[in-house]
Each structure stands twice: as C-alpha cells, then as structure tokens.
Amino acid sequence: MNTDVAIKLDVQDLSLKFADKTVLQRINLRIPAHHITALIGPSGCGKSSLLRSFNRMNELLDETVTEGRVLLDGLDIYQPDIEVAELRRRVGIVFQKPNPFPHSVYENVGFGLRLQGISRGRQLDELVEAALKKAALWNEVRDRLHESAVNLSGGQQQRLVIARAIAIEPEVLLLDEPASALDPISTLKIEELMYDLKQHYTIVIVTHNMQQAARVSDYTAFLNMGQLVEFDETNKMFTDPSQRATEDYITGRFG
Ligand SMILES: Nc1ncnc2c1ncn2[C@@H]1O[C@H](COP(=O)(O)OP(=O)(O)O)[C@@H](O)[C@H]1O
Ligand SMILES: [Mg+2]
C-alpha cells in the first residue's frame, strides 16, 4: 500500500459493544484523506457501526460501550472534552433512506447554515446554490427551490441530503449505503458525484454492492463478524486479496 498518503481517520484498537454483545473487535484502520474508502462485508458484520463510530453516533443508541481510539487529524474524538456537535459538523453522515426535512428544497440546504448564524440574504442564497451545484442537483431544482423537498424523486432527495451535508463544509463524508434504495440511473449519479466530491472531502462509504465498491473506491476494508479481515487498495483487494476469506466473499462464496 502507498504509505505516503495523508491519514484523515486513524482507528486504533476500536471495540464496540451493544449491551453485552461485541459488535466491533479491536479494529485498526487508517483512512486516507481525499480518497474514497469502501467498507464491505456480510450483513450484520458491523459496517454501519464502524461508520457511526467516526462521528460518535453509536452513543445515541442505548447501552453502547466504545473502547480504543479514533483520531481525526490526530485528535482523539472520544476524549471527554470533545464537542460532539462540532465533531458532527466536521464529519457528516448520509443514510440509506433519503431523509429530507418536510420543508422546501432551499430550507433543507440552508438549515445547517442558519444554525451557524448565516441567516439571510445573498450570502445564504449563494451558499445554498453552491452546495446544490456540488451535489449535482442545481440544474434540476433551480426553478423548484421553494417547493417541498418531498416532491423530489428518491434520487434527487438523496442528492439533496448530500447537499445539506456538504453545505456546512464537513471534512469527512460518511455514506451508509447511500444508493441502495435508488434506481440504477440515480445510483450512477451518486457514484459520479462521489468521484467529484473526493477532491474536497474524505469519503467513507458502506456498500453491500461489490461492483459499486470496485467502481467507486480507492481503498477497501473487508469486515467479517466485527473484525477487520483485510484493508488495501481497491484494485489489489479485488484482484489479489491476501486473505482467503476476502477472496471467498468477493467471489460470492458467502455473504
Ligand atoms: N441499536 C442496536 N442495538 C443492538 N444491536 C445492534 C444495534 N444496531 C446494530 N446492532 C447489532 O450490531 C451488529 C452489527 O450491525 P451493523 O453495524 O448494522 O452491521 P452492518 O451494517 O454490517 O449490516 C449486528 O449484529 C446488529 O444486530
Ligand atoms: Mg448497515
């Protein structure tokens, strides 16, 4: 693996329990900045839990215990004095099912900006437009900014949610199966969008679609039963994996 690349998230001996069930076991993983890293593995192996550990969303669920460290640019995000709201501004997350607010397209994107005190006028308009452009949605909604977001198609809603996430300039974008509820054309748009976005952001995507992982990602982590089995450049993982379990999984022998 190329060892020169800058590391954005450094996961060290990370373990996670829900009640007394171990969901992640001593994960060590270094996620490169300004690249796309895919998390793959069978259903229930802990992909979403690992993703949520990158902006401390597991602790919103009851009875979770996290051990180990996650460093964001060298800063341990599990330190007690970390401001979690600020952490989640720096590390945004988009889920499988598009979840726009039941408000206008404009208000969806402007929401986080307003929370930051940018409340009106030209500046807000410009930032909303810029986020919609980055999310490759502007041309489709420029005349519908004040219509309800729930009138958009599923694929448009998901790009809107991505626009909402990037409007506040995160550094890391976490995507949990962002296209699995979408049709093939919308899926392709999301994949193209990711390619554009990685210039600005570090992207981590959970996908159960191995073709998608192979198409979009630079690096791939394969998880199985809460453990990291293998992490490498995507090309290497898909052509010459070093672990037998990885090979069995990517060739469809289990999962
Ligand atoms: N809120 C929760 N409470 C208890 N167990 C959970 C919760 N969410 C997930 N789990 C368990 O954690 C394990 C990993 O789940 P998850 O991270 O969602 O896997 P994946 O995304 O790979 O399908 C599973 O065994 C699942 O049942
Ligand atoms: Mg999941």
Q: Specify the pLDDT at position 2.
A: 66
Residue range 7-250 in CATH 3.40.50.300: yes
Q: On the CB side of 125, how many CA atoms lie within 13 Å of its CA?
A: 4
Mutate to test the pocket of ligand 1, among 14, 15, 16, 45 (most ligand atoms within 8 A of CB): 45
| pLDDT tens per residue across span 177-235 | 999 988 899 899 899 999 989 999 999 999 989 999 999 999 999 999 999 999 999 99
Q: What whole-number distance in Å separates Cα of residue 219 and Cα of residue 214? A: 9
Compute, in angstroms, the gap from residue 46 CA to the centroid of ligand 1: 6
Q: What percent of the chain has pLDDT over 90?
A: 87
Q: Which residue has the tokens 């630079």?
A: 218
- Using the mean position of ligand 2's atoms as its centre, give its distance from the Cα of residue 40 in Å: 10
Report the nearest atom of ligand 1 relative to the CA of 46.
Answer: 17
Residue 150: C-alpha distances to residues 102, 108, 135, 154 (Å)? 6, 11, 17, 9
- For residue 47, give the ligand 1 atom closest to its CA: 22
- From the CA of 49, how far away is ligand 1's center (Å)? 6
Sequence-distant (≥ 6) Cβ neighbours of residue 207 within 8 angstroms: 38, 39, 40, 177, 179, 180, 213
Q: Which residue has the tokens 């392709």?
A: 188
Hunting for tokens 């039963």 — which residue is that? 225
pLDDT value of position 181 = 86
pLDDT in tens, 132-168: 999 999 999 999 999 999 999 999 999 999 999 999 9
Is residue 177 within 8 A of residue 96, CB to CB? The reply is yes
In terms of Cα–Cα distance, which of 77, 1, 27, 36 is closest to 218?
36
Q: Are 38 and 209 in contact (CB under 8 A)?
A: no
Residue owning the nearest CA to atom 25 of ligand 1: 44
- For residue 67, the CA-to-ligand 2 centroid distance in Å is 20
3-class secondary-structure state, position 81: coil
List the chain domain ranges. Answer: 7-250
Cα separation of the two ends of the chain: 26
Tokens representing residue 111 in the block? 């929401």
Whether ligand 1 lies within 6 angstroms of the CB of 45 is answered as yes
What pLDDT does 119 receive?
Answer: 77
Asked if 255 and 41 count as a contact pair (C-beta separation under 8 A), the reply is yes
Q: How far is CA 100 from CA 91, 172, 180, 191, 250, in A?
A: 18, 20, 17, 20, 33
CA 83 remoteness from chain centre: 20
Task: For a ligand 1 pocket test, name from 48, 50, 175, 177 the mutation site with the most ligand atoms within 8 angstroms of its C-beta.
Answer: 48
Does 121 score more than 90 pLDDT?
no
Cα(93) to ligand 1 centroid in Å equals 17
